A and B are shown apart, each in its own frame.
Chain A
Amino acid sequence: MTDMPARRSQIVPTLLFLPAFLLLIFFWCVPLVPGLALALRSPGAKGVWPSLINYSRLLGEQTFRHNLLLSLVYVVGVVGAATPVAYAASLLMTRNMRGLRWSRGLLLIPWAVPAVVSSLIFRNLAGPEMAPLTQLYRLISGQPNLLPLQDSFWAMTTVIVHSFWRSVPVMTLFLAAGIATIPTEFHEAAQTDGATSLQRFWHITFPLTRMHLAVGMLLITAFTLQDAETVYALTGGGPHHGTEVAAVRLFKEAFDYGQFATAAAIGSFLLAGGLCFMLLYLGSFRRTEVTL
C-alpha cells in the first residue's frame, strides 16, 4: 500500500469514503437494532416488551423446527453439490483454450437470469405435463405417475437443483479468480520435477485456493440461507410446508400475513445460522492454512 502525501491528511480519504460508509450504515446497521428489538415484542396491539414469547412459540412449533431443518437441507444440498462441480468447471475455465471466451459467457448465464424467472422455468420443467425433469424423476423413482411439485421430497429436490444451477457459475468464477492468482512457475517447477496433474492439483492448486474456496462457499451459503424468492416462485413453500425453508416462512409471515414480530424472530435465527456458517468456514480455513 502506498501512502503518497496522505499521512498528513485524514480529510480527503474520509470525504471519499463517507458516502459509501453512510449508505451502508443507514441501510444495514440502523435497521438491525430495531429489527432485533421487534422480535422481543409479544404479539397484539398492547405488546409486552421485552418478551421471549415469539421465540418460545416458534421453537415449540413443529412446523418451525421443520422450517429450520429444511433450511439446513437446502444449504447443505446446494453447497455440497455446487462446490465440486464448480471446482471442476473453474479448472477447465482457467485452461488456455480456444473457444473459451464464448463458452465462458454461456457458462455464466445462470447468474444473469432473474431468480424468479429461472424458478418459473424450473417450475415448468417439473410441471405436471410432458416436462423433462418430471420424466427424469419418474424414471429415477420408478413412480410413473409422480407429480414432483406435489411431493415434498421431489419438490425440495427441484428447489435444490435449481439453486445448484444458479450457484455453480458464481462459485466457478470465484474459484477461477483464485486459480488465476497462482504463479505459473509453481506448476512449471512441479512439472519439471515430474509431478502428475493430480499431484499438482492436490499440492499446489488446492492449498493455494483454499481461501477462495472458503469465501465462495460462504457466499453460496449466505445466498441460499436467505433465499426466499426461489422457493416462493417455484413451489410457494408447498406442498403442505414441504419446501418451506425458514427464509420463506419469514417472508410469508412478514409480507403475506403482517406478523412482523414473528418474522423478526425468524430473522434472528437466520442471522445466527449465517454467523455459525461463517465461523465454521473461516475457522476450518484458518486451521488448515498452509505455507509453501
Chain B
Amino acid sequence: MKRGVHLPLVVLFCGFAVLPILWGIRTSLSPDPGAGSLIPWRLTLEHYRKILSQGFFYQYALNSAIVSIGSLAVVAPLSLAAGYSLARFRFWGNRVAPLLLAFPLLPAITFLVPLARYLNVIGLYDSLPALILSNSAFCAPFCVWMMRNFVHTVPVSLEEAGLLDGCSRFSLLWRIVLPSALPGLMAVAVFVFVQVWNNFIFAYALTTNQSLQVLPKAVVGFIGSWRTDWGGLMAMGVLTLLPPVIVFQFLQKWFVAGMYGLSTK
C-alpha cells in the first residue's frame, strides 16, 4: 500500500471512534436537544449547572472514586507480587496460573447471584468494600498476566546483584523490582481505574443503598426517571465518562506498552 492511502483511513477510524462521544457532548450542550440542526448553534451549560448544583452528584462521584482507587490499592500490590513470582520462580503457581487466568473468559454474570448471596453471608453485601473486592477479583487475572509478562522483560542481573549484596527477598522486591516494574504498574493502574470506574454490573447487583451508588449505576437509574430530559441525561453521562477518558488519554502510552508486554523506551 502506498503511504497516501493511510492517512484517510486513520482519520476514518478515529472519526468512527470519536463521533458518538461528540454527539453525546453536543446533546448535553444543546438547550433543546430534540429539535434543531445537527450542530447546535446556541449552546448552554444549563444541564451541567443543574446536575452540579445538586449534592447527590458529589456523593456518587466520591463513591466511584473510593471504589476505583480502593480496587487499585488491592490489585496493584497483589498483581506485582503474583506476577513477579510467576515470572521468576518455578513452583506450583505456574501450573495453577493458566487456569486462573482463564476466569475472565467465563461469563462473569453467571457468578453474580451466588456472589451476592455469599457476600450476604459474610456480611459484606451492600457495602463499598464488596464492590472493591469484587472488582479487584474481576481485574486481577488480567493484571497478574500483564505484570508477569512485564517482569519477564526486566533483566534478572539487577536482582542477582541485589542478592549478592545481601538484600532479603522482600527488600529486593521493594528496592529493585518495584522501581523497574513501575511502567507495568502504570499499565495495571490504567486498566483497573478504567474498568472499575465504568463497572455497572457489580454496583447494581451488590449494592442497594442509595447513598452507596456509583456514577454508572446512577446514570442507568436516571434513564428511568428523567426519560426525555436528554440534555440532563447526557450531561450526567459526559460527567461520568470524563475521569476514565482523561486518565486514559494521559496514560495510554503505558497501557499500550503493558498490552504489548514491552517496556517503554
Contacts and interface: CB of A to CB of B under 8 A. Distances in A.
Q: Do A and B come from one complex?
A: yes
Interface of A: 1-7, 10, 12-14, 16-17, 19-21, 23-24, 26-28, 30-32, 34-35, 38, 88-89, 92, 95, 97, 99-101, 103-118, 120-125, 127, 129-130, 132, 165, 168-169, 173-174, 176-177, 180, 197, 218-219, 222, 225-226, 228-229, 232-233, 247, 250-251, 254-255, 260, 263-264, 267-268, 270-271, 273-275, 278
Nearest to A14: B91
Given A31-B115, A32-B111, A105 B249 contact: yes
A268 B111 CA distance: 10
Nearest to A277: B105
B109 A267 contact: yes
Nearest to A273: B107
B17 A267 contact: no
A115 B86 CA distance: 33
A31 B113 CA distance: 8
Contact of B252 (A27, A104, A278): A104
Given A95-B6, A122-B20, A109 B110 contact: no
Contacts of B1: 197
B213 interface: no
A127 B230 CA distance: 10
B117 interface: yes
B23 A233 contact: no
27 contacts: A3-B89, A4-B163, A10-B91, A12-B89, A13-B89, A16-B85, A19-B77, A23-B78, A23-B136, A35-B113, A38-B117, A88-B9, A101-B253, A109-B17, A113-B198, A113-B245, A114-B197, A114-B216, A115-B198, A130-B34, A168-B17, A180-B262, A219-B105, A247-B109, A251-B112, A251-B201, A267-B110
B174 interface: no
Contacts of B233: 120, 124
A234 to B, nearest CB: 9
Given A117-B241, A278-B105, 19 more contacts: A10-B92, A13-B91, A20-B81, A30-B118, A31-B114, A107-B17, A112-B198, A112-B247, A113-B244, A115-B198, A117-B216, A124-B24, A130-B38, A174-B259, A176-B260, A197-B1, A219-B105, A229-B220, A263-B113
Contact of A121 (B92, B237, B262): B237
B13 A254 contact: no
